[in-house]
Every structure is written in C-alpha cells, then in structure tokens.
Amino acid sequence: MAKCKVCKSDYIKKYNTTQTVCGWRCALKLNEIIKEKYFKKETAKMKRDFKANDRSHQIKLTQQACNAYIRERDKNEPCISCGTTKPDIQYCAGHFKTVGSNPALRFNPLNIHRQCNRYCNMALSGNVAAYRERLIEKIGLDYVLWLEGPQEAQNYDIEDLKLMKNWFKEQTRLLQSVDS
C-alpha cells in the first residue's frame, strides 16, 4: 500500500515503483501543482534579477543605507535646524540641498544631517535658514559654500550604487560596534 501525494488515499501501485498518485485525475492535479511551484520559483528569480539590475531600485536601496548611516552617525546630536534633542521626536536624515534641487549631493554625507522629521523636515520644508546657520557651525563656511555652489552631475551606474550602499552599511556597522 502507498499513499497518494495529492488526495492522501491509500492505493496499490499498479504501473511501476515510481508511481506517486492513485490515478490519472491525481496525476493531472500533481502536474498542475508542480507547474505552479516552478512558475513561482522562476518568477521570484526573475524579480530578484530585475531588481539587482534596476537602477531606480538600487538608488532606493543606497538612499536607505545612506540615511541609516546618517541617523547612526548623528544619533547623539541635536536637530541640525532647530537644535531640539527631545527623545520622543522622530528624527530623519535631512538634506541641506534637496535631492530635487541638487541630485549630485544626494549621497554626500556633508549634505545630510540629523533633523527632526515632522517639524523641521516636513512642516518647515527643511527649515533651510536655521539649517544653514548650524551647518556653518558644524562643518565650516567653506564646505557650506561648496555645497551651495555648482556641482558636477553624478550619473551613477548600478555597480557604483552597490558599492556606495555597501560602504554606507559597513560604516553604519562600524559606528554601531564602537557604541557597544
């Protein structure tokens, strides 16, 4: 006696020793199940391959890694714009020169600092005037003027983005290991 892989009923193997189902109906059903599993596996592989070679997806992953690094780097500092240090506020990685206005500075750590998310970053659209004042105190006037000046366009390819993402992740790990 054997158990059918599809309907789980007992049956006697009639045809050969590799028989795994009780009859032709279960054989058709098993074939559909196998095709579905193969299709899901192939679809998942295609999605992984697409995302690995999709520039916009890699930009998103690199931005997430960059923001995580900035949040870890500046976790003990106040908001760059308003100076608040309240623990119950959500902080983010706020850009001095926005990604829309200057995409070349998108991943530049000099351009990104800890900022309270809801008030300065969202409600005050970055609170740029106060951001600039405190940024001068933090990194110096020369660097702020450089950030405000013209920047050469950066056309990162997928490999560049992956390298930057890995660098930001490694720097985040190093900062976390220093704290523990």
Q: Rounded to the nearest 10 degrees, how much is the dihedral formed by the CA atoms of 64, 66, 67, 68?
A: 80
pLDDT of the residue at 52? 87
- Tell me what percent of the residues of the chain surpass a pLDDT of 90: 76
Per-residue confidence band for 2, with pLDDT thresholds at 50, 70 and 90? confident
Return the SS3 of 149.
Answer: coil
Query: Beta-carbon neighbour count of residue 118 at 10 Å?
Result: 12
Residue 30: the pLDDT is: 93
The mean pLDDT of 78-83, rounded to a whole number, is 95
- pTM confidence score: 0.75
Mean of per-residue pLDDT scores for the chain: 93
Count CB neighbours of 100 within 10 A. Answer: 8
